[in-house]
Amino acid sequence: MDYASAAANSEDLCMWEPVAGAPPATQTPLESFLTDLQSAALASFGERDFDPKLYVDLPLRSALSVTRTAFEALPRLCSGKIASDTLKHFIDKFFDVPGSDLLPHVPKDFRSEPEGFLPLVKSQEARVWALKVHALWLQLSRKVAENVQNQPDMHTLLPLPYPVIVPGSRFREVYYWDSYWIIRGLAVSKMYDTAKGIVRNLFSLVQTYGFVPNGARTYYKNRSQPPLLSAMVRVVYENTHDLDFVEEAFPVLLREHSFWQSDLHRVHIMDRKGHKHSLNRYSANWIGPRPESSTIDKQIADRLSKEKRSLLYHDIASAAESGWDFSSRNGHDLSSMRTSSIVPVDLNAFLFQKFHVLDIVNQNVNVFPSNFIPLWCGVLRPGDSRIENIVKAFSSSGLLYSAGVPSSLRQTGQQWDFPNAWAPLQHMIIEGLDWTNSKDAQIIAEVIARRWIWTNYNSFNATGEMQEKLDAQICGKVGYGGEYKPQAGFGWSNGVVLALLQKYGWPEDPTLTCR
């Protein structure tokens, strides 16, 4: 499993308990109503192509009390269901379209071809594609409508002071860790003001809630995502040398760090030598179905006792906090999630980028790319004698495929498992290997980078869009599995491709066509 070495004695891992003085979060009245609507919609419309998130993203046209009264007055069939035509008419009358509370926005710092854009890309074929990817920022740029701030009880969207870049498709709002790779791409596109605005939006969330929620929706306030805010600040500084921005960030970063060091996320464990350690875990402040997937979670936990249901709901939400929703890393399937009983190496590396060396090499049979994320976090300095063993471990891990690094070697049907490859994992593995200054590691890093550029180019040519995830086995093939259909857009995929082209470029030959 994806444990830190100090977590070898699994019996010393604490199980989740409600934090004294900080009871689990509860739904807002609007969320409660929208999850009722979600359940009714599933009953009326059926499971085919049903997306539960759509219903909790609906902006109200009338006051909640008026809308709920009208909903409760709808005629029911003998089965208790609402006729599909009746429910559709109700939704059209009382709600605006999901995402309509985010307005299209043209960033002031966007240029169709920025000065000095991708100087190492010599291939005309690659440059034309890269400019198309760069132009996608226009399609993904939004500004939160003023009525979200003025009428918060009618939206699940959270107000933000600056324009945003959204991932795309069903992900209509800002997401925490997605934003890091979006910012990496914006830096390549020379869109520094937009990047600063995105980070300042996250600052505003920390100042309001004490942490960065999973995403900018009220129903995401029960959990966070991998803590990369300080890494975003570093990217902005490295590209702008704006010390005032760093000073602005410092108190915010301290406040976020306190959130991750709270009892909710902290565990005390003992290593093989009897030494005690304080480490961190993903642990959502939540013991109910996730509002955005309430119908799914209820079906999974239906047969469990109330106590076991609460624990499972907590661990499902905690897996979402990890960003890996979902993967065998946190349980074989959703019914067996045990996220809060795992000490993940990636989270602890993100938080303690200079702490004791984790047991990266001596992992058990379940191999995940996250085992090697400490390299990206700088846990080992260049020249450290242990790097050679880690590079050998990665080379023999089975994770190197012809079209990317898969999220795991287990094929469970979950989207963060085999054969799916995700942009952020590719990028962290590539940069982690490259930053070791090991010649062997840097060769592997460039191989992975070029394969990832290849597969994204061919997928884009086949579909006309950048994809959320790809199949690591086959160049250009879109990924699959999980709770929803494959999504396109796509914020962090765009950012990683641009960052890799900036680093490695592309010669006039070879062609970008799959080989």
Distance CA 184, CA 428 (A): 12
Nearest to 22 by CA among 278, 208, 277, 210: 210
Q: Are strands 420-422 and 469-471 parallel, antiparallel or unpaired?
A: antiparallel
Tokens representing 381 are 């300095």
Q: What share of the chain is helix, strand, coil (3-state, %, to 5)?
A: 45, 10, 45
Q: Residue type for 508, please?
A: E
How many C-beta atoms lie closer than 10 Å to residue 205's C-beta?
A: 24
Residue 193 contacts residue 504 (beta carbons within 8 Å): no
Distance CA 333, CA 407 (A): 15
* Long-range contact pairs involving 78-83 (C-beta distance under 8 Å, separation at least 24): 80/43, 81/40, 81/43, 81/44, 82/40, 82/43, 82/44, 83/44
Does 468 qualify as catalytic in the annotation? yes
> 278-317: b or e for each residue (b if 16 or more CB lie within 10 Å)?
ebbbbbbbbbbbbbbbbbbbbebbeeeeeeebbbbbbbbb
CA distances to 233, 352, 469, 492 from 378, rounded to whole Å, are 17, 10, 26, 22
- DSSP of 420-486, one letter per residue? EEEHHHHHHHHHHHHTT--HHHHHHHHHHHHHHHHHHHHHHHHHSS-BSEEETTSTT-B---SSS--
Does 325 qualify as catalytic in the annotation? yes
Distance CA 237, CA 464 (A): 34
Tokens representing 360 are 């990266």
Exactly one of 325, 346, 434, 465 is catalytic; name it: 325
What positions carry a catalytic annotation?
325, 468
